[in-house]
Structure 1
Amino acid sequence: MAKGLLGNDEAFARFGRRIGWSLAKDMEKTILPNIELLKSYGVPMERIIKFIYTFPRSLMVKPENFMKFVEKAEEMGADRKSQMFIYSVRSVSQMSCKTLELKLQTLRQFGFSESDIRATFQKSPYVFSSSVDRLKRTKDFLLATGKYDMSCIAKNHTALLYSIEQRYMPRCKTLQVLESRNLLEKWPSLNMLSRMSDDKFFLKFVYPYLSELNNLYPTVSSMGGVNEDTKVS
């Protein structure tokens, strides 16, 4: 049954190597019932298969516990039809109720409304996989630039996922130098600052002013982006 689910013997072997054969043998006790539950919620099989290969152990929990995670995710606003639904379930499964409540309280302290929190969970459940300390440090850094406020961060919640050291610090230092020399017409939006690729940022804000920046900005190859669990830690 498990081989049929994954497509063929080769796919099953690859999966077994991915999670360890001792665990793969227990598929019918954990993964298969959990897959059936997701299917009953309308999650397409191709999406489930992709998820299994990426995060196989996320489905290797007792079905009764997995049911609780699914129900909690939906209670928090996860949309069954969304591609992020299964990742919302995973995010919930990684936390105790106490930890989840602490993160909710942290976002409320940031000034997030209940609708902001719901939208964040629906669209960017990875935010809830970040530690409270990481969320606070990133929020404080962005506010300290003086260019963004909490309403801006609430509208661009994925900005909380990016690295301060690898993404924000070099970019903000570059922009500050350009601004001090009247070479910057206006600061980029938070969405642009956080999500623009390193190549595009370099071409737009660095390359035209190389002589002015004096190698302030690191090489593109040394830049980093979202901490992906992909995205989270």
Structure 2
Amino acid sequence: MLSAARRRLFPLPVRYIAAAFSTSAASAAADPTVFYLESTCALSPAAAARAADSIRLVSPDSTAQADAVLDLLRRYGFSDADISATVRKFPFVLVSNPTKTLQPKLDFFASVGISAPLLPKLVSLSPIVLHRSIQDHLAPLFESLRKVLGSNARVVTALRQMPFVVRCSPKNTPNLVLSALRDVHGVPLGDVSRLVAIQPGVLLQRPDRLAEIVQAVKNFGMEPGHPMFVHMFAILSKMKTPTLESKIALYQSLGFDKDIVTLMMRRYPPAMAISGEKIKESTGFLVGKAGLSLEDIARYPMILKRSLESHSRRCAVLALLRKEGKPQGNHQVPVVLGATMVRFLKVYVQPHEIEIPDVVRAFNGEIPFEGFGVLQQPQQLGKTSL
């Protein structure tokens, strides 16, 4: 039986497996570049073999230069994982001149406010930036980004959200987007800056895609300059048209009239970014158990984003206050569910925790919410319901 088990686990004779490992080790030892990449840069054998095709570390001088490169990166906050990712993607960094080629780029990033942990993240994602010209690429890119965003601090914030923006063409991409949004679509410059700060990935959008998104936002009744235009644009820029259409169809399938969906999005654009499953679950709870109407949800669409656990606990607290005859128990359910945590605790829990200790238990989820009374059924909303 033991022999059969060994055959299943090791279909090849053990001596062949051992030979394979010894061959791999011998191969690494025979190739100093592969050995260096594995032992010093923590690359896998396969990754080290691929990297060794583009660089050779065959002399003491070459390994000393590679060591100097690694020391330089570590001084700028690169972890071992950052170094491994950088070398795996761009092995040529190890044979770059650390003083003349690499350090000026790292110093430039530091001069515009980019330091660890953002700097290693940017470089490990796009190591080629260490070989870009400061004069022809990096400086013009950051100047373009500053023109759109207004300051180095906002550029850093944008890169923290979307580090791949550093790959943008400095002479074309940011300026083309700025020109298209401002001059073609009439988006105020201040709104363009806010938009890029919220969603830096917009800098990589094609002109036809920008036009498509602008039109989709307008279809929700938000023209450029509308207070919610930027927020809706940022959300729709991450959604493909079929996804947007299916989300609208989902709301309609739950009973929301299309015009009411439009009104909901104008009030609270993030409602379009909620997953379909959460929309169904939240609507089911709010209507079926909390007794709200679709009209209530349309008036306070932000409650769709809250977790069911939060809704259940707040409703349990509200039910207790109603039972005890407290005035706060008569507050509208959507208002209670939409309140900030600080306000909810201040108004509905803390004033009653001594007289009605169960409000604390309800808030902690120890008392389940069973409903307020007669359940309301979903109703179709018409254009004039609100």
TM-score by length of 2: 0.50
| Distance of aligned partners of 1:147 and 1:43 in 2 relative to their CA distance in 1, 3 Å threshold | same
Q: CA deviation at 1:116?
A: 0.7
Q: Which structure has the larger Rg over C-alpha atoms?
A: 2
Structure 1 residue 30 corresponds to structure 2 residue 173 = yes
Q: How many residues align?
A: 218
1:209 corresponds, among 352, 359, 377, to 352
Within 2, Cα distance between the matches of 1:201 and 1:12?
Answer: 36
Give the letter for the 1:205 counterpart.
Answer: Y
2:274 corresponds, among 112, 127, 130, to 130
Q: CA deviation at 1:88?
A: 1.6
| Distance of aligned partners of 1:34 and 1:146 in 2 relative to their CA distance in 1, 3 Å threshold | same
Give the letter for the 1:194 counterpart.
Answer: L
Match of 1:145 in 2: 289
Q: CA deviation at 1:178?
A: 2.2
| Distance of aligned partners of 1:20 and 1:207 in 2 relative to their CA distance in 1, 3 Å threshold | closer
Within 1, Cα distance between the matches of 2:164 and 2:254?
Answer: 45
Contact persistence 1:30–1:63 (CA under 8 A): no
Match of 1:82 in 2: 226
- Farther off after superposition, 50-59 or 133-142: 50-59
Match of 1:2 in 2: 144
Within 2, Cα distance between the matches of 1:134 and 1:61?
Answer: 29
Within 1, Cα distance between the matches of 2:296 and 2:151?
Answer: 48
Within 2, Cα distance between the matches of 1:74 and 1:18?
Answer: 26
Question: What is the SS of the residue equivalent to 1:112?
Answer: coil
Give the letter for the 1:202 counterpart.
Answer: L
Within 2, Cα distance between the matches of 1:152 and 1:8?
Answer: 42
| Distance of aligned partners of 1:71 and 1:3 in 2 relative to their CA distance in 1, 3 Å threshold | closer
Structure 1 residue 111 corresponds to structure 2 residue 255 = yes
Q: CA deviation at 1:78?
A: 2.3
The CA deviation string for residues 201-227 of structure 1, in whole angstroms up to 9 with x for no partner, is 112111122132343124xxxxxxxxx
Q: CA deviation at 1:23?
A: 3.0
Structure 1, unmatched stretches of 5+, are: 219-233
Within 2, Cα distance between the matches of 1:157 and 1:14?
Answer: 29
The CA deviation string for residues 90-111 of structure 1, in whole angstroms up to 9 with x for no partner, is 2222222222122111111222
Match of 1:194 in 2: 337
Identity score, percent:
18
Match of 2:300 in 1: 156
Give the letter for the 2:163 counterpart.
Answer: G
